[in-house]
A and B are shown apart, each in its own frame.
Chain A
Amino acid sequence: MEEDLEPLLQSAFRYALALTHDAAEAQDLVHDSCVAVMNAGAKWDKPYLFAAVRNRYIDRYRKSRKLLFVPIEGDQAAAEIADEFAAEPDVIEFDSLHRALEMLRPDEREMLFLSAVEGYTAQEIADMTSRPRGTILSLLHRTKQKLRRLLRHPGAEARS
């Protein structure tokens, strides 16, 4: 298990980073999650550790009243204007992507991360996040549109 631990920790860190968009907070989150997994005597696998990270994140930031996950129905306005700027920019700079990701909501980054980085299917993400598959597909679609828009027009949208 020891040899396999680092890739698992790095994945958990990136997932935490997707949620928080802050390296220090992500490190704290991973640490707390490891402690939780250890105390629960659970096996060290990605689904369990990711669930621990997500739960710790919700617990922690619910208290600080940060906007976490909003109902997708509340995002209609953004969806309506999304297509206007839907074309992908020719070149994506690392810094631009960093700033654009910062403008996304945590649940948008989470969807994007789980899909694009971890390669989970919409159904798997739905199972992980306790949301309907259709909602995941819709959110993922809108998030990508929003991200393209932000990459093309960085000042076009304030963080919602």
Chain B
Amino acid sequence: MSSDLDRHVKEYYESKRLPPQTVEDLRALVAGGPKARRSRVVRWLPVAAVAALVSLAIAIPFSRHAAANRLSERIAREAARIYSQHLRVEIAAADYATLRTRMKSLGFVPVESANLAPMRMRLIGARYTSLAGRPAVQLELIDAKGELCTLIQTTAEDVQIANRQAQYQIDGLLIDVWKEKGLVMVLARPA
């Protein structure tokens, strides 16, 4: 009756085919039965587990690094505040040996930082203070340009900051934070 129309419709639909990959996927699905469907999930589990471990391996150090950075910055801000108070020295001393004999209640001994050697700083005295909630010494120094600088030292035990030196600019001050000789050292000076 309408053979031409039927033929065209037939040709139209017969030109339509599932993509080969879809056929393969369906074959695999059928071949595996209901278990195959579950195994799709199971197959991805190791990948998901590896991805999770990799994420953790990246996230944990990153998180630690971020926490260390936050602590360094907090210490730097505290040092800036201490510097800005311009409190008088309690013990006048031109050398570290004097400080070591006179400041025995710190739980550690003040030391000369190797980092400061190139700056040719001159020690003028020290006072007790606190940093990050622990006893600290505030050393007062004069740099080569005659600027007053403050070096704060406290024990580095359990203080999780990066070993690498960090530098901040806070309220017109240049603050360096680093670890050296088992101590946390913070140098505050005019920027």
Q: Which A residues lie at the B interface, using CB under 8 A?
A: 2, 5-6, 9-10, 13-14, 17-18, 23, 27, 30-31, 34-35, 38-39, 44, 88, 92, 94, 97-98, 101, 112-113, 115-117, 144, 147-148
Contact = CB atoms under 8 A, between A and B. Distances in A.
Interface stretch (B28-36, B75-83, B86-94, B134-142): B28-36
B5 A144 contact: yes
Given A88-B4, A101-B12, A35 B18 contact: no
B29 A116 contact: no
Interface stretch (B19-27, B104-112, B120-128): B19-27
Nearest to A86: B2
Of listed B13, B15, B30, B34, residue having the most chain A CB within 10 A: B13
Given A17-B16, A92-B4, A92-B5, 12 more contacts: A5-B27, A9-B26, A13-B16, A13-B17, A14-B16, A35-B29, A38-B29, A97-B8, A98-B12, A101-B9, A116-B10, A148-B2
Contacts of B19: 27
A116 B9 contact: yes
A38 B2 CA distance: 38
Contact of B26 (A18, A31, A39, A92): A31
A10 B13 CA distance: 10
Q: Which are the 8 A-B pairs with shortest beta-carbon distances?
A: A116-B6, A116-B9, A13-B18, A14-B13, A117-B13, A92-B8, A117-B10, A144-B2
Tell me if A's interface is mostly helix, strand, loop or mixed: helix
Instruction: Give the bracket for the number of chain B residues in contact with chain A.
Output: 20 to 34
Contacts of A38: 29-30, 33-34, 37
Contact of B27 (A2, A30, A39): A2
A34 B26 contact: yes
A27 B18 CA distance: 7
25 contacts: A2-B27, A2-B31, A5-B30, A6-B27, A9-B18, A9-B26, A10-B17, A13-B16, A18-B13, A27-B19, A27-B22, A31-B22, A31-B29, A34-B26, A35-B29, A38-B34, A39-B34, A88-B4, A94-B12, A97-B8, A101-B12, A116-B7, A116-B10, A117-B10, A144-B5
B14 interface: yes
Given A13-B17, A34-B30, A117-B13, A6 B23 contact: yes
